[in-house]
Structure 1
């Protein structure tokens, strides 16, 4: 009996690992280049920026439906597999658009909404499910190994896709069609790995729902509220410029895909390489000081793009930005998990993701409307980069008012799931709740 249980565990660990790697490969091959594809088929630069921002709200809203869907299906696994299957199918829409060479803007936004809706909609249920598959004693080490492999897969996909687009510039849309087909197949493989995993506890009983009214109440009182308000304010400020770096590089500066790839990959590599060192700083300084330093460091990053478009200069900006964003995200993860009860984590993070997505869309709408009004020129881009910097300065008032405790959670025990690659932040990551806890020194045979 023990041998059978061990065999099931090892099989589940292999499948969880396989799901992560193939999912990450999909990100690099497909999602990273959706704004570039939007430009290639003739969408405006504003719309190409919005295509990776506005549809994320659909994902955040679908997360609210997730608990009801899980209860109706009486299974976290079934809901996750359904979402993953639909996400894989969304690439069929991108593929058809690439083959046709044109698509109405509204339809492309609808396809992107399906992609993001199913991507983020599966997140809470997957977090709860995976926590029942990976024993607590090996979680930290297992998800650290898995995380590094996922980062490598995302980078491999990004580099491979960028090189293919660079070399196939004369048949650009054909290359996009092939990339979207490969991305869909990667997510299809990920779905197969998900379907092969066991589900020992279809409906765990240790989860507690937090209502939106409770989250708003917490935002109005005490240190928790000040932290949440700061995070949402900074998200809004950052997203005034964030979605428009890709249109700026490809549409305005006319960078080659090789240059674009180099800039995106540099931020991603710098961010991932800095993460362990930021963990050491979190242990030495505490999470609040790390947040103060990195939150201040974020302020000038968008404005630095105004001064030059020299490749070496921008690569230096990307390295600095990747390092700063690494520390900021780690500090935020630590502060969240030291202050949220274990039974509320999935529910509360779901609600936070909704408010965070609303802030993201709000910032993107401000930046896009301003860019459209000013005419999508280099000077117009510089204005929204500068406005984003000014808005970030204003968030420093909120940052300086924070008074929160030092880390109670080990920096090494909070793995993250990459859900997108972005030129300005390196990667968009969500904390992997189900990967927390356990003995970091435990071995995986």
Structure 2
């Protein structure tokens, strides 16, 4: 991949440095909000709200993100403003950890604001980055970028787990305070590099402005609107169970912080190993083909937790999970960049995130209310919830993707051929066997 424009190359370098420190912040926060909430005395219902409310407020906030870009007159200003505010929200979290006796509800409120501010920057960031990266190279570029930055997240997540493991013998509250303090520093450095990016001019005539209701009215005719519906229903199905895997590990399986970190890191590490390869395949066979292949298989991830809770088996299950989610998530995001014109991209990304955030919220709330009344499966109510999530995933994953259309010229390939090429048994021409390293 060659990008020759000097301003574009400078911006992508700045964005990459931003991503390094944003990834470090993610490693110190994303998987540790739930353990800290449980430490504060949070219940399963609190965990449901911890997943639901940030997604709901973030999704509703993004309804106005396109208008904020118009009001500020710049995608870059929008990004830097909300990234800075997101960093600031880590300061009260440090205070909660030091005080030790704060209510779970107060901590959830801070996470809601933290997530919402970060989400408000996303549509503008996606629009800006898609302008900087040429159309036929997005799978390659974003696959390479995400793979490289995943390594940072893996390292910091592992470091955070080790820190909490040893701090538990002294004062684990201080351990969480250190995590949030480091995350604040990483995000401020990330914000600094974002200020160094170049913003290509964007002209958005009024005829490209449309409301969410106008967007929804096109569900029956618009390929992109149907794609958004599919991903939203998939995320609802996933999030019926997803927030409770961490609770299951810490409460039911009694994992310590180190083992909890290793299990979570396995999926992230697998993503690191495979996402660049997914990107190369996406550029050749299209994003939609990969989505159609991975979506039904994602349904079997919760089933693996039902079959066996042995630690080594769960690590294998997480390898399977990371492999599939790497392809699905990468191609879901790059499909948007291909399907939407630059003038409409900020607004479409905002509506995509709004509907998906709402679906994630409703899924978490549904799971939280179902869990107390479900019968146990193999002695655990959560396993019943995992089974429900699996059934919902397979219903969505087998039906809706088949109705979608690829938006660019690509090579045609069968799903089994794609799978064997991905794992290196029968690589496609132009996809080197050596690029898999795991």
Q: TM-score range by the shorter chain?
A: 0.7 to 0.9
Distance in 2 between the 1:299 and 1:140 partners? 24
Flag the 1:352–1:129 CA change in 2: closer, same or farther, 3 A: closer
Q: Find the counterpart in structure 2 of residue 427 from structure 1.
A: none
Which whole-Å CA distance do the structure 2 matches of 1:79 and 1:332 have between them?
Answer: 23
* Alpha carbons 1:303, 1:385 under 8 Å: kept: yes
Q: How does 1:377-396 map to 2 (within 5 A)?
A: 379-396=380-397
The answer as to whether partners of 1:299 and 1:392 remain within 8 angstroms in 2 is yes
Is 2:120 aligned against 1:121? yes
Q: Distance in 1 between matches of 2:357 and 2:60?
A: 9
Distance 2:248 2:130 in 1: 41
In 1, the alpha carbon distance for the partners of 2:8 and 2:295 equals 41
2: distance between equivalents of 1:135 and 1:299? 33
Residues 338 and 408, structure 1, Cα contact 8 Å, conserved in 2? no
Within 5 A, what are the aligned runs for 1:59-70?
59-70=58-69
| 1:434 counterpart residue number | none
SS of corresponding position for 2:403: coil
Structure-2 residue corresponding to 1:405: 406
Q: Is 2:339 aligned against 1:339?
A: yes
Shift of 1:363: 0.9
1:313 Cα deviation from its structure 2 partner = 0.4
Normalised by the length of structure 1, the TM-score is 0.81
Matched pairs, number? 407
Q: How do residues 92-111 of structure 1 correspond to structure 2 at under 5 angstroms?
A: 92-111=91-110
Distance 1:203 1:37, change over 3 A: farther
Aligned to 1:329: 329
RMSD value, Cα: 3.3
1:339 CA displacement: 3.2
Q: 2:139·2:279 contact (CA, 8 Å) conserved in 1?
A: no
Farther off after superposition, 226-235 or 85-94? 226-235
CA–CA separation in structure 2 for the residues paired with 1:84 and 1:407: 33
- Give the direction of change, closer, same or farther, for the CA distance of 1:73–1:294 in structure 2 (3 Å limit): closer
Matched with 1:36 is: 35
Whether 2:239 is the aligned partner of 1:239: answer yes
- Return 352-361 or 205-214, whichever deviates more: 205-214
- Normalised by the length of structure 2, the TM-score is 0.82
Q: Alignment partner of 1:117: what SS?
A: helix
| Distance in 2 separating the partners of 1:282 and 1:198 | 27
Q: Structure 1's 350 and 248: CA in aligned 2 closer, same or farther, altered over 3 A?
A: same
- Give 1:275's aligned residue: 275
CA contact (8 A) 2:285 2:410 kept: no
